[in-house]
Structure 1
Amino acid sequence: MSFFEHLGMAPSDPILGLTLAFAADERRDKVNLGAGVYKTADLKPYILTSVKEAERVLLKEETSKDYLPMAGDGDFIEQTKKLVLGEFTDDRIFAIQSIGGTGALKVGGELLLKSGCKRIFLSDPTWDNHRRIFTQMGFEVETYPYYDWKECRFDFEAMYHAIEKMHEGDVIILQTCCHNPTGLNPTYEQWKELCALIKKRRLIPFFDNAYQGFGESIEKDVAPIRLFVKEGLEVLIAASYSKNFGLYAERTGVLFTVCQDGKVAKRVGSQIKKCVRGIYSTPPCHGARIVATVLKDPKLRKLWEAELATMRCRIEETRNAFLTALKAKGLQKFEFLEKQRGMFSYTGLKQHEVDKLIAEYAIYMPGDGRVNVAGLNSENLDYVVDAIYETTKIL
């Protein structure tokens, strides 16, 4: 008998499982609106030209594949620190390269557990993996209201009142921009109010910065982070370069811990290094060196910013076309999509409607109705809208 005989079958990941189901579907008109991966207008994977150019530079100039330090590639750390934190680059910040954004959340969580934190709050709804990451680590995972399901809008008042009831030392996960799955975020003025309240309640804000550049701009999308740092809060930030550099397979991320002062930052850094030594020891170099090379070179940096703007514009133009087509079918109830930003649109479709779209039309999306706008184009948009019309009309 196997030592593992007693183990049951774990449920499949809702997003990754959806991708596998889509791949196995043999229907020719199938549409994948599930996985959060950017696609071009012809629905092809997109490798940025700036990334290719950086790889050419590395191929020519790279001289070593030796282990990186536990903290990661030095140039990557310095360049991404400027990208996310701007002028805030003093010694109270400890930064460490991570295995994607997920790895940064994991390592940040380990630090928080080590510091005695027990309870963590996620927005309702949130990225599905947030709950999995922190539950598996042993946190008491709770939620705060974020979305008004009836009005299909961001519910600032409910979020604010929920934070008023949180306790000192509680951790609150905040998505910097392009909230996954709703596409809705606080205004800057609302961020100011949240910052003041979180500071007053002595909570620990942990920012998930996965979509910088996909909302309004590279700078504006991280304004909430810089606000909190400027106001003197101790802050954790998990940043990912999967989306804005298209480095999904390279698992390139960074964890920033902004501490009260440099002495605390040194102790924090020692604990984080101890943690990663017991997990993966040192991070991979390739993705980090690509990002560093692009950000250091003025020409590559300019090219990358232009490519990122192109991706952002395509998503917004496609969302607008999607909304226009829905309205043309008389589906005025989807007007709320206009206020959403980033890769995802939260359609409000119910589980049974999504099930019907998958079963009868081969249109794949998660059960909460979240749509990856980059999965739409001029060839499939009308088909998707017609299917939504037929599905919501009947049900």
Structure 2
Amino acid sequence: MRSPWALFAILCLSYCFGTIVRISSVLVLPELAKEIGIGAALLGFLSSLFFFAYAFTQSMWGSICGRIGPVRACSIGLFIASFGSYIFIFANNSFLLGLSRLFSGLGTAALFIGTLIFAAVAFTSDRYPLLVGLTMSLGNIGTAIAVAPLGILLDTIGVTGVFLCLSSSTALLACILWFSRRYDPYEEKIGYTNKTFAFSDLFKDTRDALFMILSERTLLLIVGTWATTTATIITLQSLWGVIWVETASGASVGEARGCVTWVGIGLILGAISGGFITKYAKGKSNVFILICFCSWISWLTWCALSFFSADIFYFNISGFSVGLLSAFCMVFASSTIKEMVPASKTAAIVGMSNMLNFIAVIILQGVSGIIIGLFPKDALGNYPTIGYETAFGIILLCQLLIYIKIPRGKTLMLREK
């Protein structure tokens, strides 16, 4: 597979498969937990193991990509994810369930970062924003379309059949990438000499990446923008969105789910169109600041609709705009980070940035739950909308403090040419 486009397509397909692996076990965990007698608290912990493994190994995978190339790294990640899905077939206790989620998170963590690093090296810089947008869109499409087909398959061939198919398909993709590894352009473009690494090297790369982010003020602000945007949109989509809309608008559960679907549609379209905007913006800070404030206003509008208990129709429009403009921010931030660091440091910095993204997700989901829980439930057992508005209002305030510090009237670029 000599063509970089063919390799990029396989990597994108792998990333899409990674989202399916993440969703697949979530669909069956609640019922499986009932069968083997697992309580809600333990179930939540077992499910979260995926996200902890995914979040805290992003920097590690970035370093691995930088040392052995993204194609090799993603192949290894897919083999690990395949093993995680295979364990799930035999999971009849909490230990095996947790092990499955842990390996699945560890393996799929390589796919997004590896695809971005491959795109950064294999193609010209002007194409990178478009490829970032395409990668993010495919990931969101995988999330959006996976639930219904997986549900049908589960009803047709059962849990064993589904996870055997997932494990086999993931292993097949891993083999394709492994046998295509000699066509990875990373070695030629970047010039790495070692195809092996020690764990001490990974810690060094992680430390150096974190130090560079913290020492460059503008880079830190861009990373902060990406992290807070990712945290707010994922927390809305995967945790509070449905119940928030249902409580605020009085809509049915189906209508509230439809509203959150509009957020996902906005993310898909925003990632693609955001790639074009970023390409032609050429790193101009004023364009980035404008996009950030438009996204911020869309979130403020969402909270205002909640405060005034608006109709579901307006929530649908607002949800679409929130997804669209958040995607603009994420694509622009990701592309800008790539342009701001030396090429030899891209893998480690992007990996560290993505790790910080998911640490922000974990923190926001936990803190928002604490804040929402401070407010008394109503007669139906629902929390009042003021709790959601307060939790998201705090993160909006943090974003505002970041945006006003981004330097104006300059090109966001620190890379040593």
Greater percentage in strand: 1
Greater percentage in helix: 2
The answer to which structure, 1 or 2, has the higher relative contact order (CA under 8 A, 6+ apart) is 1
Q: Is TM > 0.5 for Structure 1 vs Structure 2?
A: no
TM-score, normalisation: structure 2? 0.27
